[in-house]
């Protein structure tokens, strides 16, 4: 079809709905041009052709059927990130570098989706000891769900990786900076588990401060989304939320953002901090799990004149669910969901003292309480999804640790039943 008839990403969407397997597009102006169906790819493979080629094809179609075929590799199961620094004087002449897999670091990475098979934006960064940082200029993608073998140059160049479900308005999940030795083998998983708020992480992958009190000010700034080993920087227009702080049942502060700083009384009090977050706009198209998360944290606090900064008792729920790459579970009875919590740099959680879990198939209108048990300090809930094939599952948990910190969290559409 002629590309001027509609935006090319819309053409691809409509063609897929009509049963097409690919799109050939042309425009009236002469010369070659590059198709653009979105930063993370379109609904179908799309190829642009010159006007002369299009006229020849259209002429052939006017007299009968035309068969076309082409070959391409849409996603490679390997990726190489190489740094070849010169340590001596750089003079004229060419350079030849022979790279062998055995001399590189190797990572077997598993990528989970957010409920929709898609291409996530994949960016890499390289960091030299002198402080130079190099980000690769191209916008590459990685297919989710899926696996990939990733090679990195060994030596003193540090590497990291950023992954986004939707560019340019979606979040960026950030990996730690690391160097590799020859033959080093690693494993990594991305977007696994139930995605929700977590503590931010530094370049070494360690949890940083998420909530603190300074004098009569309480501040809160978590990472909105996180998986088992990463924390995300929020998207500029795809992630929204709010924050409310209550003391003794009375509101003492509100924010139109999912983070904020509030002034509080000096004396000791019991606080509840409620954060609501959700995905909106174009990023929501490929984000069909954890579509909205509401979390209420309970903790006690008072001014300590001798302490500049006091970490607050914030617990981040963690779930061990038998999810596949599409974040679905089997339609079966007796499935176990492990329950736990993590903290942040200002608070190390105590052992869990109580735990409750409920699940819903109607977005939270009605709930079924699961049987929860504890064994050797490990808590788990048993859910019954028999006969629930095709239904979305929302989760609600209430957790308390030995230090008196509490958290209640509702995750809308945490996963689906397949």
The model's pLDDT over 146-173, given as tens digits with 9 standing for 90+, comes to 999 999 999 999 999 999 999 889 999 9
| pLDDT given at position 29 | 81
| pLDDT given at position 168 | 87
| pLDDT given at position 1 | 52
How many beta carbons lie within 10 A of that of residue 256, not counting itself? 9
User: For the chain, which residues score pLDDT lower than 70?
Assistant: 1-6, 73-74, 137
| pLDDT given at position 74 | 67
59, containing H or E segment:
helix 51-63
| pLDDT given at position 51 | 87
Give 323-380 as a DSSP string: --TTSEE-S-SSEEEEEEEE-BTTB----EEEEEEEEESSTTSS-EEPEEEEETTEEE
| pLDDT given at position 70 | 77
CA separation for the pair 182, 177 (Å, rounded): 17
Q: What is the dihedral of CA 53, 56, 58, 60, to 10 degrees?
A: -140
């Amino acid at each position: 079809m002629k590309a001027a008839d509609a935006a090319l990403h819309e053409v691809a969407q409509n063609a897929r709905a009509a049963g097409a397997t690919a799109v050939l597009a042309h425009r009236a102006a002469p010369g070659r041009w590059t198709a653009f169906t979105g930063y993370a790819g379109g609904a179908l493979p799309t190829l642009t052709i010159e006007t002369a080629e299009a006229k020849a094809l259209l002429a052939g179609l006017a007299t009968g059927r035309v068969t076309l075929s082409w070959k391409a590799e849409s996603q490679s199961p390997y990726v190489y990130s190489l740094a070849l620094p010169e340590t001596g004087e750089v003079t004229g002449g060419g350079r030849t570098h022979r790279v062998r897999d055995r001399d590189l670091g190797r990572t077997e990475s598993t990528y989970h989706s957010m409920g929709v098979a898609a291409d996530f934006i994949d960016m890499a960064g390289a960091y030299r000891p002198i402080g130079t940082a190099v980000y690769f200029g191209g916008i590459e993608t990685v297919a989710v769900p899926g696996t990939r073998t990733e090679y990195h140059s060994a030596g003193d160049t540090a590497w990291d990786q950023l992954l986004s479900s939707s560019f340019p308005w979606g979040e960026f999940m950030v990996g730690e900076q690391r160097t590799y030795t020859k033959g080093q083998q690693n494993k990594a998983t991305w977007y696994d588990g139930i995605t929700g708020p977590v503590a931010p992480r530094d370049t070494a992958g360690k949890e940083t401060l998420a909530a603190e009190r300074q004098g009569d000010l309480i501040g809160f700034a978590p990472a909105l989304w996180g998986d088992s080993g990463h924390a995300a920087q929020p998207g500029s227009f795809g992630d929204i939320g709010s924050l409310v702080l209550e003391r003794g049942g009375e509101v003492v502060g509100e924010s139109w953002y999912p983070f904020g700083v509030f002034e509080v009384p000096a004396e000791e009090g019991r606080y509840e901090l409620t954060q609501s977050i959700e995905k909106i706009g174009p990023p929501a198209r490929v984000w069909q799990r954890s579509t909205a998360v509401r979390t209420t944290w309970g903790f006690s606090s008072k001014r300590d004149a001798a302490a500049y900064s006091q970490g607050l008792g914030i617990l981040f729920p963690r779930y061990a669910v038998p999810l596949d790459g599409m974040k679905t579970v089997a339609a079966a009875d007796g499935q176990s969901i492990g329950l736990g919590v993590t903290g942040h740099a200002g608070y190390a959680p105590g052992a869990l003292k109580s735990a409750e879990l409920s699940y819903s198939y109607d977005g939270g209108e009605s709930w079924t309480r699961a049987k929860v048990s504890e064994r050797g300090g490990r808590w788990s809930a048993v859910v019954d999804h028999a006969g629930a094939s095709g239904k979305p599952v929302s989760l609600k948990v209430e957790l308390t640790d030995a230090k008196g910190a509490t958290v209640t969290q509702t995750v809308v559409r945490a996963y689906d039943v397949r």
